[in-house]
């Protein structure tokens, strides 16, 4: 980053990446770019992070990304209050024992440990964003809150933006190589670019009401849920705990399409609605805040326009049921960050950035459809789906959260006909899927293989069967100026990684003895050998793989 004067004498701030928007996705973008050493500036029109408890579900894939970025411990600490909350309850009222658990445990039996070193985390946005902010600053991000994007112009070599401090009124010109728009569902950047959206549009509207009630904890008892859907006619809503003691959130249906206004949601009306929904007429309720929100299903028709990229809600909107939207946005940021780092670092070609759209947009389309179906399953308050709208199986969560795939993009050997979201979770090393998790020992330290993937491509090859992959990788990394790291996996003295419990790493990755697997910095398999390759062909093979995946022409 540097500051200089342009030909008119005006001050211009120069930076490789400008991030517009400082909510979950923008802050995550900053964290991921900072971890990769990419200088960047983030501008956010609000004065600080979110103050409203929302967007609390962080799925296992998101937590894997935060784990590798070194942020997970701080998030777990911020989420400690709700660490014991599990399951989703659906009931007419909280009085008595009527109703049913849509699911009681998100990981019954602990089976998730076979697939991941991490797990889900319930951390509200107002608790999560400050953790991300602290890490983003520590990683070198230039974060400017109370700063609004006024205009931008994109050309063949970069983006020129003008931003204004909402505190001083001062205008600053920023010249960036790339702009990442994480500026929300009504994205001014997307609107200026003229990028349209597909999908059915608005689904339903709610008012999110924060309130205090000391007696409600006694009514809830030991039913420490993530969310409770209360279904009494005329008093339906969703109840979410904030601290399990006296602070709560209630989502009430709102029908602006019927002429209902925000002003009609007075403290008295909100308190009465909550009492009737809970089933306790004299419940103590003190309304502390309210905020409207809109559930929609829309996906931008393109994620890239020249030097500008859309991420998060600017790229896609989806029903909040399942928290798929925020997680999809965070995973957008992670996918884009390593590609920007590679291109700016000179070890990938510009065309690599086209794969961001090719990979992430189909994921959003498939996930948004699943989120809407889940709202049907949960009978989300205010959602009246069209007749005949159905949903998938209630246990179809992990395949969406962790099993999504990239049939096309920066991968070689993937089946383009593979569903983006498979019907079941199979992480067995196919190109375009998240690489398998194995516990291995590296120089006496126990790590997950997923911990190896962040800053550079990684080649895994067999240490126990004679081959030339490691030597070839070392030679090509220097020749191509690619920061490729090579690990030999097995039990021989030459092994860099030794799997626990005699796990057959090659079989788990779907490659034969003596084979190799290339994993991208985001932990997705870029390529693998499926048949033995003669030693004299390894260099030509790996050269072709690297130049193709990284768009090195």
**CA–CA dist 306, 275 (Å, integer):** 53
Among 371, 393, 369, which residue's Cα sits nearest to residue 380?
A: 371
Q: State mean pLDDT over 423-434.
A: 94
The pLDDT of residue 462 is 96
Which of 374, 401, 428 is the last residue before a domain boundary? 401
Q: State the CATH number of the domain containing residue 264.
A: 3.30.9.10
Q: Which of 42-56, 185-199, 412-426, 456-470 is predicted with the least confidence, judged by mean pLDDT? A: 42-56
pLDDT in tens, 411-421: 999 999 999 99
pLDDT band at 472 (very low <50, low <70, confident <90, very high): very high
Same-domain check for residues 318 and 353: yes
Structural domains of the chain, count: 3
Which residue has tokens 């939207």? 325
What CATH number is attached to the domain comprising 448? Answer: 3.40.30.120
Last residue of a domain, one of 296, 326, 345: 296
> Could you tell me if 16 and 164 lie in one domain?
yes
| CA dist 347 → 89, 215, 264, 376, 552 (Å) | 50, 60, 57, 46, 8
253 and 189: one domain?
A: no
- Distance between CA atoms of 290 and 483, rounded to whole angstroms? 50
Q: What is the DSSP string of 312-363?
A: GGGTEE--STTSHHHHHHHHHHHHHHHHHHHHHTTSS-GGGGHHHHHHHHHH
Residue the block writes with tokens 């969560």 = 397
Residue 375 predicted with pLDDT over 70: no
Any domain includes 417: no
Tell me: pLDDT of 97 over 90: no
Dihedral of CA atoms 194, 200, 204, 205 in degrees, nearest 10, equals 0
- 471 and 361 both lie in a single domain: no
The 10s digit of each residue's pLDDT in 281-317 is 999 999 999 999 888 899 999 999 999 999 999 999 9
Query: Does 6 have pLDDT greater than 70?
Result: no
pLDDT at 381: 62
CATH number assigned to the domain comprising residue 48: 3.50.50.60
What are the tens digits of pLDDT across the range 220-279? 999 999 999 999 998 999 999 999 999 999 999 999 989 999 999 999 999 999 999 999
Identify whether the C-beta of residue 402 lies closer than 8 Å to the C-beta of residue 434: yes
Residues 146 and 287 in one domain: no
Instruction: Decide: residue 423, CB within 10 A, 0-12 exposed, 13-18 middle, 19+ buried.
Output: exposed
Residues 178 and 221 in one domain: no
Q: Which of 231, 403, 406, 227 is nearest to 322 (CA)?
A: 227
Which of 63, 174, 172 has the alpha carbon at shortest distance from 128? 63
Mean pLDDT of 483-506: 96
pLDDT of residue 96: 85
pLDDT in tens, 75-94: 999 999 888 888 899 999 99
Under the banding of pLDDT at 50, 70 and 90, the label for residue 111 is: confident
| pLDDT at residue 119, rounded to an integer | 93
Compute the average pLDDT of residues 139-147.
Answer: 97
Instruction: Kindly report the average pLDDT of the chain as a whole number.
Output: 92
Asked whether residue 279 is assigned to any structural domain, the reply reads: yes
Helix axes 24-35, 125-138, angle to 10 degrees: 30
| pLDDT score of 431 more than 90 | yes
Whether 205 and 192 map to the same domain: the answer is no
Q: Assess whether pLDDT exceeds 50 at residue 392.
A: no
Task: Kindly report which listed range (2-6, 268-272, 385-389) carries the lowest average pLDDT score.
Answer: 385-389
- Structural domain includes residue 330: yes
Q: Are 29 and 123 part of one and the same domain?
A: yes
Residue 528 included in any domain = yes
For residues 522-546, average pLDDT: 96
Angle at 250 between CA 319 and CA 372, to 5 degrees: 15
pLDDT band at 395, cuts 50/70/90?
Answer: very low
Same domain, 61 and 46: yes
On whether residue 450 sits in a domain, the answer given is: yes
Domain presence at residue 185: yes
Could you tell me if residue 382 is inside a domain?
A: yes
The three-state (H, E, C) secondary structure of 93-137, written as one string = CCCCCCCEEEECCCCHHHHHHHCCCCCCEECCHHHHHHHHHHHHH
Clarify whether residues 69 and 169 are in a common domain. yes
What pLDDT does 11 receive? 81
| pLDDT surpassing 60 at residue 377 | no
Residues 39 and 133 in one domain: yes
Domain residues for 244? 199-296
Residues 41 and 180 in one domain: yes
The 8-class DSSP code of residue 436 comes to P
Q: Which of 371, 401, 431 is the last residue of a domain?
A: 401
pLDDT top residue among 3 and 371: 371
Q: Which of residues 30 and 398 earns the better pLDDT score?
A: 30
Residue 213 has pLDDT above 90, yes or no: yes
pLDDT surpasses 90 at 374: no
d(CA 465, CA 541): 18
Q: What is the structure's pLDDT at 378?
A: 53
Of 106-115, 137-146, 455-464, 526-535, the one with minimum mean pLDDT is: 106-115
Alpha helices in 378-481 (DSSP H): 398-401, 469-480
At 376, the pLDDT band (50, 70, 90 cuts) reads low
Q: Is residue 432 part of a domain?
A: no
The confidence band for 389, taking pLDDT boundaries of 50, 70 and 90, is very low
């Amino acid at each position: 980053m540097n500051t200089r004067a342009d030909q008119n004498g005006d001050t211009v701030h120069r930076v490789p990446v400008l991030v517009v928007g400082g909510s979950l996705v923008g802050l995550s973008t900053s964290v991921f770019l900072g971890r990769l050493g990419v200088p960047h500036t983030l501008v956010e029109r609000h004065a600080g992070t979110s103050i409203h408890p929302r967007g609390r579900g962080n799925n296992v894939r998101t937590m894997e990304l935060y784990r590798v970025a070194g942020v997970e411990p701080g998030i777990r600490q911020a989420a400690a209050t709700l660490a014991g909350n599990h399951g989703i309850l659906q009931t007419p009222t909280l009085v008595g024992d009527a109703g049913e658990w849509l699911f009681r445990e998100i990981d019954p039996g602990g089976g998730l440990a076979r697939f991941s070193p991490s797990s889900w985390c319930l951390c509200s946005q107002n608790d999560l964003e400050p953790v991300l902010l602290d890490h983003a600053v520590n990683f070198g991000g230039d974060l400017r809150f109370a700063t609004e994007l006024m205009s931008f112009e994109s050309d063949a070599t970069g983006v020129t933006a003008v931003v204004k401090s909402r505190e001083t009124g001062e205008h600053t010109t920023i010249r960036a190589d790339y702009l990442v728009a994480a500026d929300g569902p009504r994205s001014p950047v997307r609107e200026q670019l003229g990028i349209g959206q597909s999908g059915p549009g608005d689904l339903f509207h709610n008012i999110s009401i924060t309130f205090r009630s000391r007696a409600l904890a006694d009514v809830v008892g030991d039913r420490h849920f993530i969310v409770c859907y209360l279904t009494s006619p005329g008093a339906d809503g969703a109840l979410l705990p904030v601290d399990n003691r006296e602070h709560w959130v209630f989502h009430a249906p709102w029908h602006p399409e019927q002429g209902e206004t925000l002003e009609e949601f007075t403290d008295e009306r909100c308190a009465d609605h909550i009492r009737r929904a809970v089933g306790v007429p004299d419940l103590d309720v003190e309304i502390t805040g309210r905020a409207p929100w809109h559930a929609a299903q829309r996906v931008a028709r393109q994620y890239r326009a020249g030097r500008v990229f859309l991420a998060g809600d600017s790229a896609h909107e989806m029903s909040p049921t399942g928290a798929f939207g925020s997680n999809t946005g965070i995973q957008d940021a992670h996918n884009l960050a390593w590609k920007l780092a590679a291109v700016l670092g000179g070890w990938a070609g510009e065309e690599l950035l086209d794969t961001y759209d090719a990979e992430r947009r189909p994921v959003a389309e498939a996930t948004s459809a699943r989120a809407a179906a889940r709202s049907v399953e949960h009978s989300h308050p205010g959602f009246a789906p069209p007749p005949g709208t159905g949903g998938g199986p209630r246990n179809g969560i992990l395949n969406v959260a962790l099993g999504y795939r990239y049939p096309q993009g920066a991968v070689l050997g993937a089946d383009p006909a593979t569903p983006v979201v498979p019907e079941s979770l199979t992480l067995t090393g196919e190109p375009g899927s998240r690489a398998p998790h194995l516990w291995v020992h590296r120089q006496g330290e126990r790590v997950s293989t997923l911990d190896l993937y962040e800053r550079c491509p990684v080649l895994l090859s067999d240490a126990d069967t004679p081959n030339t992959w490691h030597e070839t990788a070392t030679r090509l990394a220097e020749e191509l100026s690619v920061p490729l790291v090579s690990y030999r996996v097995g039990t021989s003295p030459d092994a860099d990684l030794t799997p626990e419990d005699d796990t057959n790493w090659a079989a788990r990755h779907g490659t034969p003895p003596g084979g190799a697997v290339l994993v991208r910095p985001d932990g997705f398999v870029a390529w693998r050998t499926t048949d033995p390759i003669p030693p004299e062909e390894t260099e030509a093979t790996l050269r072709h793989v690297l130049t193709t995946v990284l768009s090195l022409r």
